[in-house]
Structure 1
Amino acid sequence: MDPRTLTDLLNRVKDATCTVEEAMQQLTGFPSEIMEHANLDHQRHLRTGIPEVIYGASKTVEQIITIARAMLKRASPVLVTRVDPQKAAKILCSCPELEYHEPAGLLCANKADVRMQKTRGKALVVCAGTSDIRVAEEARLTLELFGHPVGSLYDIGVAGLHRLFYRQQLLHEASVIIVVAGMEGALPSVVAGLARAPVIAVPTSVGYGASLGGIAALLGMLNSCAPGVAVVNIDNGFGAACMAHAINCDYSDDAPQ
């Protein structure tokens, strides 16, 4: 349950448009709902600003369906990550409310209204090569689901750096930038040397043998010569989006008076 939903429910109880009994029924399973294979944390959105998210890669179709159905009963965003097309097709038969984004491997529903989410500006997702788009799209779509305006700039790696220079205005306008790159992982350093916004680097497992499944890109990003670059785990577009969400949310109205 997200903060707006809970606030609306409490206001309706206060205005006598909802009885206490009706409110208690809506709060069934709050703050957590114990299930056969999961313990669903309905309070996470209130605590952290990020809803419970289903990691789909190692879960069965039946497990995902059960958890997703419980989440769909709530008004908060629903996100299932790392879902292949075959698994997604089976899940959609039971949960047609979900929408599948194949390039990112995401199932989602109940996208937050960008007009309701107070943000510091527009986020930007950048990736070095076409092979990195899967991870970049995971980051972009996650941010969109959380209610952020997001732009994208793909296939502008350092092998053809002029492609980035032609689009510098997008870097200057962004409030937070996620940079996704494999191979030697050099692009985040370049972007951080051009932009004022915080840069979140995402190494990918794209590359030839000596890339070691993304280790080379990870180490390159951790050793960035540009100051202030934050680095998440290999292929972790979702984690980068969560970090960007925390940076880009405007919580000024929530500050104690």
Structure 2
Amino acid sequence: MRDLLEAVAAGEVSPAEAEARLAGYATGDAGRFDAARETRRGVPEAILGDGKTPAEAAALAETAVETTGRAVVTRTDGAQREAVRRRLADTHPEAEVSVHERARVVVVHAADYSPPDLDATVGVVTAGTSDAVPAGEAAVIAREMGATVDRVDDVGVAALTRIVDQLDRLRSADVLVVAAGREGALPTVVAGLVNTPVIGLPVSTGYGHGGEGEAAFVGMVQSCSVLSVVNIDAGFVAGAQAGLIARAVDGAADGEGADAADPAVASDDSE
């Protein structure tokens, strides 16, 4: 602790970063930022833009960069994206700001930030262009967790030849996030054709009875093919779950899986 206090006094560590190291979070005018979530859970802390003013989103993004070297701001609007750009340009001009307009996500990396790198591929599949927003969010999160992301777009079940043409790509991925609206049939079809984990992402498209993603969600939950399902439009959750699976795949390839870590399992001589 003394070393940390001396680093703060010397200007080498900001008060926000020191607080984050000691308490696991940093507190600012816009709220608390969970700086330890990625270390604790393996999933980066994200700043939800919904319900926040542009100034609040920007302030939390600055805190995130100061404490973890990275900020991920989701569900943003144009005003929030511009506020993040301006604030980080003033306080961290060396930082790299990436704006994913369609996915509504802003990612900021400090100049000295080292992103994770996993030897695993997450396939992000969409039934149609209308599914691009939550699917894009999932892709950004999986990529920020270190996975290689392969996008396979516009392969809905209205013309099954489109998905059949992409089977080799789908089967080569380590985990798939499959986004679909309306009746949500695509994840069920894909899960019946591949031997890799499939995460169904229902999208709030469709109209009339069962519209706004309700039919898609129920259809995926009732799937007779084996898959898991997240909530409607929950791109962050789908991407994070895929990223965790990618981490497990990477760890297994490196001999760091549960069996390798447990000598009772790894040894042939155990009784």
Report the TM-score, using the length of structure 1 for normalisation.
0.85
Q: Does 1:61 align with 2:57?
A: no
**Partner of 1:117 in structure 2?**
117
**Residue in 2 aligned with 1:131?**
130
SS of residue paired to 2:150 = strand
Q: Which residue of 2 aligns with 1:84?
A: 77
Looking at structure 1, the residues matched to 170 and 41 of structure 2 have their Cα atoms a distance apart, in angstroms, of: 28
Q: Report if the CA contact (8 A) 2:28-2:63 is conserved.
A: no
Does residue 209 in structure 1 map to residue 208 in structure 2? yes
Where do 1:1-257 residues align within 5 Å?
21-22=6-7, 26=13, 27-30=17-20, 31-96=24-89, 97=95, 98-110=97-109, 116-119=116-119, 121-227=120-226, 229-249=227-247, 250-252=250-252, 253=256, 255=261
Q: RMSD of the alignment, in Å?
A: 2.4
- 1:67-108 CA-to-partner distances (Å, cap 9, x unmatched) read 111111234431000011233123312223432111000010
Matches of 1:150 and 1:191 in 2, distance apart? 17
Amino acid at match of 2:7: E
Larger Rg: 2
Go from structure 1 to structure 2 and tell me whether the alpha carbon gap of 1:81 and 1:156 turns closer, same or farther (over 3 Å shift). Answer: same
Structure 1 residue ranges without an equivalent (≥5): 1-17
Runs (4 or more) in structure 1 with deviation over 4 Å come to 111-114
Percent identity between the two aligned chains: 34
What do residues 5-48 of structure 1 show as CA deviations (whole Å, max 9, x unaligned)?
xxxxxxxxxxxxx8883389635112111223312111111101
Contact 2:58 2:80 (8 Å CA) reproduced: no
Q: Structure 2: give runs of 5+ residues left out of the alignment.
A: 90-94, 264-271
Q: Secondary structure at the match of 1:179?
A: strand
Q: Give the Cα–Cα distance (whole angstroms) in 1 for the partners of residues 74 and 19 of structure 2.
A: 23
TM-score, structure 2 normalization: 0.81
**Take 1:73 and 1:239, find their aligned partners in 2: how far apart are those partners?**
25
Local SS of the residue matching 1:180: strand
Separation (CA, whole Å) in 1 of partners of 2:76 and 2:219: 29
* Contact preservation (8 Å) 1:54, 1:64: yes
For 2:39 and 2:8, locate their aligned partners in 1 and report how far apart those are by CA, in whole Å. Answer: 17
Residues 143-185 of structure 1: CA deviation (Å, up to 9, x unaligned): 1122110101001000011011011101110000000000000
Q: Distance in 1 between matches of 2:4 and 2:232?
A: 49
